[in-house]
Structure formats: C-alpha cells, structure tokens
Structure 1
Amino acid sequence: MTSDTIKFYTDESKMFVATDCIVFGFDDGELKLLIFKRRVAPKKGDWSLIGSFVKEDEDVEHAAKRVLKEITGLDNVFFEQSYTYGKADRDDGARCISVAQFALIRIDDYDRKLTEKHGAYWYKLEDLPSLVLDHDKMVIDALNKLRQRAKHQPIGFELLPEKFTIPQLQSLYEAIFQKSLDPGNFRKKVLSFEVLEKLNEKDKSSSKRGAFYYRFNHDNYQKLLESGYNFEIL
C-alpha cells in the first residue's frame, strides 16, 4: 500500500477481512472436518472453523496457507477458495468480511501434537456441533463445491494416502456424496481415466485374496486435463 493510497482512502470507513478454512480429511471411511474452540470474543470457547484475520501486508491466499501451517504443520495443502461472506451483521465483534477456503488433507499426514496444542479436533460431518457465526453455512457451501469438483475432476486423491485400493477410493467417493456406488461400475469408470498406476502389492487387511494397491499418476492427469478430457465419475 502506497502513501498516496492511504491519503486517498483516509475518509473511508474501515472493516476487517478474515479467512476461514473448511478443512476436510478422510479416515476410516468417513469424511471429517477439523474444528476448534474459538479463542477470541465474542463467542469465545464456542466451536469454530479454523481461521484468522488477514494481516495488512499479506494476501488472502497467504493468510490461508499460514493458518493451515500453524494448525496442521503442513505446507503443501490443497485448498481452493469457496465463497466470500459479507453480510453486514455476520459478526457481532466488528464489520468483517470472510473469504472461505476449503482444504483437503490426508488425515495421516498432519502433525497431531501441533493440532492438539491448538485445541483442534476432527469431527464426522454428521456429528458436527453447531458452529459460530455463519460457519455452518460455510461448511454446507464448501461441501457442495467439493462435490461439484469431485464429479468432474479426481480431486479426491488429495485425501488418500500415496497408495490405495479401488475399494478405498470408492469408500471416499461414497463419503463425499453420501451415497452407495456400484463397485463394478465404479471400478470400470475410474480405471478408464488411465490416471491410476497398478502396483505389485496387495492390501490383505480385509480379505485373504486382497486388493491391489494403486497410485495416482499426476503427469497423466495433467496431460489429459490440458487436452480437455472429462473426468466425470458420477
């Protein structure tokens, strides 16, 4: 911000800008959300999304990265802007606009001790307590946006470990869309994209026969994406 800009805007009213992160994780066949107890008044101690005010010298995107790093210990987190919430009465503390971001992390990757230090906990979506301000709406909006993205792009791989089975992948999509999928049709569909590499290794935790592990081929995916390929799964 230049001195001229400050001079021109001195007569205008000021307001706060915040970023709130809807952090999704996948664990034991369940889609979960990371929330914590609000640390500032008003509504201090109530359940809240993880967020922060945007500092005067930082971009909104950098503020989101900072928040995610502080809470999870992770640098390379997939996140995408959801919506901006700007109702005049949305925050009792002050006039504040919030730019929401939804993030996807592998639940086994994050720093558990760091997260617990900040008082953050994973909740199943169906067990979520009521959240402060308009955070409940932020979660609903972000989940709908996640579902729209997951229909057309293999965004779900951001939630899976490096190697996974087709049943595990199906379980993830069933959790995202809250519906059962036909195993045969799902397998045929995802393999047709040619973005999965079959590994010479099996997961035998659920059956003696076991299921082959796969991994996501980012290079193939990027080439197909640039060619305009349609990854519609459902």
Structure 2
Amino acid sequence: MDESEFLASYDPRAFPPVAVTVDVVALTIREGALHVLLVRRGEQPHAGRWALPGGFIRPAEDLAEAAVRELAEETGLTPRVHIEQLASYGAPDRDPRMRIVSVSYLAFAPHLPDPRAGSDAADAAWHRADRLPELAFDHGRILGEGLERARAKLEYTPLATTFVGETFTISELRGVYETVWSVPLHAGNFHRKILSVPGFVESTGETTESGGARGGPRAKLYRAGDARLLHPALLRPAREEEVR
C-alpha cells in the first residue's frame, strides 16, 4: 500500500478526539510594577472567573498565529510584541469539556495600553503579578511557570530590553530587573555589569533632555545590542550567592 492509498483509507475517527488551544501569558510593566493580562470568562466553563487570554486554534492556523489572534480578539491588543512558546499542558482532566491540550506562549512589550474585552471575554484587565485572583482551569500553574521563565530569561538573554523603549537609560533597564525580580539592585554594580556584557547594549551617543529628579547630570541613552545570549550572565542576587 502506497501513501496515497493509506491516506484514502485512514479514518481519524478511530482515535479519541483531542483539541488544541493556545494560552498567552502577556507581561508588561505599568506604574513601576509587573502586570499580567487577564480576561474574565463570559461563557462556561468557569464563567465569570479570570483566565489567561486564549482559545482554540483554527484548522489552517499555526500555533503562534493563533496566540497573536486570540490576544487581539479577547483584549484588543495588537501592538508588535515579543512572543515565544512557553510549554504544553495536557493533563486529561485540565478542562471539563473534553481532552484539550494547551500550548502556552509568553508575550512581552513596554507601555502596553489598557485592553478592551472582545470575542467571548466579559472583561479584560491588567493585574499586578503579586496581586492575582484565583484563575480558571490550570492557568495559575501556567502563569506561575511563565513568570519564572521571564525571571530566568533576564539572567541570560537581553529580554529586559523588550520592556523599555527603543532607547533607554541604564537606570530604566535596572528598573526592569528590579521589578521582574522583585529585588533592589545596587545602581553602580548594575551599571558596570551591563556595560561589561558584550553586545547587550550600545550607546546612541545621546543623552536625556534633562537630569534626574535631583537636578543631576543628563543620563546617557542606549539601545539594544546584537547579543542573543548574555555572557557573563546577570544572575539574580539569590542565585549569585548560590554560584559563589
């Protein structure tokens, strides 16, 4: 039997049905705190509870395309964001409707606006990552693992630059690390570490238009460099002590 004959006789109904969804952990920094985008479910199951934005993929749709589409449909957010696959979740009882496997994604961008609910979502809002409601399905686990992925990636990738504008100061970049890691960092040590990592940031040759709040000198402006991995890595303070 050749391939065409095999496909003609193949019956997918001979196997138990399994559906695939995508869920998005979208992060941004607002008012000096790390925020996560959540939607209030407008339909059963778990109607009225908060959840990650997401939904079923379409037959001719790639997974990443589905994640971007669902983010736009459920929250109205369509800016260009950094998005990457996080993990897959397939516990048999994770959804009461049927066997559903979810492929989760992480999305990052600076200065994201207020969302607007759409599609089957009753509401959409940014929530502080340290003040989260109980989430539907297994989204609490997905979100927790997404947050840890983001914190870890700040150590060895230039991910922090996706939370700031096209140009930024070292102080603004330090603010990203302090916010995501939830730990204060020594300004001078941080500045030296950033500039010691090849390709992490590069100077624009420009400065801010004015000095700091205390009338100090104008700060130098930087842009993201071409590094894809940071070497040496910028370890979180607790992990840095472990390495020592």
- TM class, shorter-chain normalised? 0.7 to 0.9
**For the residues of structure 1 that align with 2:195 and 2:180, how far apart are their CA atoms?**
19
Say whether the 8 Å CA contact 1:151–1:231 is kept in structure 2.
no
Q: CA deviation at 1:24?
A: 0.3
Structure 1 residues 138, 104: closer, same or farther in 2, change over 3 A?
same
**For the residues of structure 2 that align with 1:83 and 1:167, how far apart are their CA atoms?**
32
Gaps of 5+ in 1: none
- Which string of whole-angstrom CA distances, capped at 9 and with x for unpartnered residues, describes residues 115-157 of structure 1? 2243211111111111111111111101111122110011011
**Residue aligning to 1:230:** 231
Please report the TM-score for the alignment, with normalisation by the length of structure 1.
0.86
**Residue aligning to 1:18:** 21
2:102 aligns to what SS in structure 1? strand
Q: CA deviation at 1:76?
A: 2.5
How many pairs were matched up?
223
The reply on whether 1:146 has 2:153 as its aligned counterpart is no
The reply on whether 1:170 has 2:157 as its aligned counterpart is no
The reply on whether 1:104 has 2:108 as its aligned counterpart is yes
**Residue aligning to 2:202:** 196
Please report the TM-score for the alignment, with normalisation by the length of structure 2.
0.83
Q: In the TM superposition, what are the counterparts of 1:82-121 in structure 2 within 5 Å?
A: 82-108=86-112, 110=113, 112=114, 115-118=115-118, 119-121=123-125
Structure 1 residues 20, 139: closer, same or farther in 2, change over 3 A?
same
Say whether the 8 Å CA contact 1:202–1:210 is kept in structure 2.
no
Code of the aligned partner of 1:158:
T
**For the residues of structure 2 that align with 1:42 and 1:182, how far apart are their CA atoms?**
47
1:52 to 41, 55, 66: 55
Structure 1 residues 5, 16: closer, same or farther in 2, change over 3 A?
farther
The reply on whether 1:81 has 2:82 as its aligned counterpart is no
Say whether the 8 Å CA contact 1:19–1:100 is kept in structure 2.
yes
**For the residues of structure 2 that align with 1:120 and 1:13, how far apart are their CA atoms?**
34
2:40 to 20, 37, 41: 37
**For the residues of structure 2 that align with 1:35 and 1:102, how far apart are their CA atoms?**
13
Deviating more after overlay: 187-196 vs 90-99: 187-196
**For the residues of structure 2 that align with 1:93 and 1:207, how far apart are their CA atoms?**
58
**Residue aligning to 2:223:** 216
Structure number with bigger Rg: 2
Identical counterparts, % of pairs: 26
CA RMSD of aligned residues (A): 2.3
Structure 1 residues 166, 203: closer, same or farther in 2, change over 3 A?
farther
